[in-house]
Amino acid sequence: MPEDKCGIDGCSAPAVRSYSKKACEGAGLKPADENAKRVHVCKEHNKAFKKATKVDRKLESLGR
Ligand SMILES: [Zn+2]
């Protein structure tokens, strides 16, 4: 089944990529499945992921 959905908590958009769970958490995204090793992310969360990993200074000021 090639049908992948976004694995971020509260999101069920179609996935475009997958990252390791650790990477997602590092980017401030919360995987819905705690036991997953890889987490699929939708277009929007992929964007958020990239933003978070590129500009983590900004994330800190926004997230705290
Ligand atoms: Zn998503």
Q: What is the 3-state secondary structure (H, E, C) of 2-40?
A: CCCECCECCCCCEEEEEEEHHHHHHCCCCECCCCCCEEE
Distance 54 CA to ligand 1 centre (A): 18
Angstrom distance (rounded) from CA 40 to CA 33: 11
The predicted structure's pLDDT at residue 1: 44
pTM: 0.77
Smallest CA-to-CA distance from 13 within 24, 3, 22 is with: 3
Residue 46's Cβ-side half-sphere holds a number of Cα atoms within 13 Å equal to 13
Domains of the chain, residue spans:
1-55
Distance 26 CA to ligand 1 centre (A): 16
pLDDT single digits (tens) 10-62: 999 999 999 999 999 999 999 999 999 999 999 999 999 999 987 655 556 66
